[in-house]
């Protein structure tokens, strides 16, 4: 499993400090940056236009768009593509006017297109044709998107299993990420359910030493779910 540190903030100093705390973790190859517009969720973060001020070093970034119309932020990201080491853009489906349009616009930039589902959003909302263009499927493990430091909703484990089985039954490779509430004690169950990667926010940032906590996550991944 991959561990993607997740940054959610409107404060440039917080973002700078969090990036610095993981700069020397070679295994943290991708950082997920949450983009929230205050409409999809009752919170606001920095936007792609703000991200060029940061030094991402050798790391790539995934943009997780929790916004009212994700494709609009894709266009903003395009304007700053030369400044940002974007690997993937993952949009919430719940207020997405067209999955096909969103996925197409992301893929045109040679970024990995992804969709994210809230806790109570079923897999069935993904259009049948979308699976052929999907590179990432992210499932939220919390019931209030847009905020960190929440408890993990174990009900999502069944959806992880369902998504994993569906992906395995098709030839098209889709990375399955779980985001939200991912604490150390939940790792074995998430791994057993079939997730490929985890996005971790407060579980890392609240540690006294981020590097040590990241190593604890790596060790926890070796455990079997009982």
Residue 145, in any domain of the structure: yes
Residue 173's φ and ψ, nearest 5 degrees, are -80, 125
116: β partners? 92, 138
Answer yes or no: is pLDDT of 35 > 80: yes
Distance CA 11, CA 27 (A): 25
Answer yes or no: is pLDDT of 132 > 80: yes
Distance CA 219, CA 168 (A): 26
114: β partners? 90, 136
Answer yes or no: is pLDDT of 144 > 80: no
Where residue 152 sits, what CATH number does that domain have?
Answer: 3.20.20.70
Residue 71, in any domain of the structure: yes
Please name the residues in contact with 28: beta carbons below 8 A apart, sequence gap of 6 or more.
Answer: 3, 4, 5, 22, 59, 214
Buried b (16+ CB within 10 A) or exposed e, 118-142: bbebeeeebbeebeebbbbbbbbbb
pTM of the model: 0.96
Residue 226, in any domain of the structure: no
The residue segments making up the domain with residue 170 are 2-220
Mean pLDDT value across residues 39-62 = 94
Residue 49, in any domain of the structure: yes
Residue 210, in any domain of the structure: yes
Percent of the chain with pLDDT over 90: 89
Percent of the chain with pLDDT over 70: 99
Total domains present in the chain: 1
Work out the pLDDT band at 226, boundaries 50, 70, 90: low
Residue 171, in any domain of the structure: yes
Residue 163, in any domain of the structure: yes
Please name the residues in contact with 122: beta carbons below 8 A apart, sequence gap of 6 or more.
Answer: 159
pLDDT digits (tens, 9 = 90+) for 179-214: 999 999 999 999 999 999 999 999 999 999 999 999
Residue 185, in any domain of the structure: yes
pLDDT digits (tens, 9 = 90+) for 79-117: 999 999 999 999 999 989 999 999 999 999 999 999 999
pLDDT digits (tens, 9 = 90+) for 64-82: 999 999 999 999 999 999 9
């Amino acid at each position: 499993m991959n561990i993607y540190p997740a940054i959610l903030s409107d404060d440039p100093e917080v973002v700078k400090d969090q990036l610095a705390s993981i700069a020397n973790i070679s295994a943290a190859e991708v950082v997920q940056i949450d983009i929230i517009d205050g409409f999809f969720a009752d919170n606001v973060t920095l936007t792609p236009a703000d991200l060029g001020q940061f030094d991402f070093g050798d790391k790539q970034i995934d943009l997780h768009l929790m916004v009212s119309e994700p494709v609009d932020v894709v266009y903003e990201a395009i304007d700053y593509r030369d400044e940002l080491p974007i690997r993937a853009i993952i949009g919430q489906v719940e207020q997405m006017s067209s999955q096909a349009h969103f996925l197409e616009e992301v893929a045109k930039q040679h970024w990995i297109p992804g969709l994210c589902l809230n806790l109570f959003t079923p897999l069935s909302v993904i259009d049948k044709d979308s699976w052929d263009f999907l590179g990432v499927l992210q499932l939220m493990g919390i019931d209030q998107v847009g905020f960190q430091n929440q408890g993990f909703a174990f009900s999502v484990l069944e959806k992880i299993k369902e998504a994993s089985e569906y992906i395995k039954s098709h030839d098209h490779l889709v990375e399955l990420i779980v985001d939200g509430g991912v604490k150390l004690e939940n790792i074995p169950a998430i791994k057993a359910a079939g997730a490929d990667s985890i996005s971790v926010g407060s579980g890392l940032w609240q540690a006294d030493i981020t590097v040590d906590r990241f190593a604890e996550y790596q060790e926890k991944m070796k455990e079997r779910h009982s």
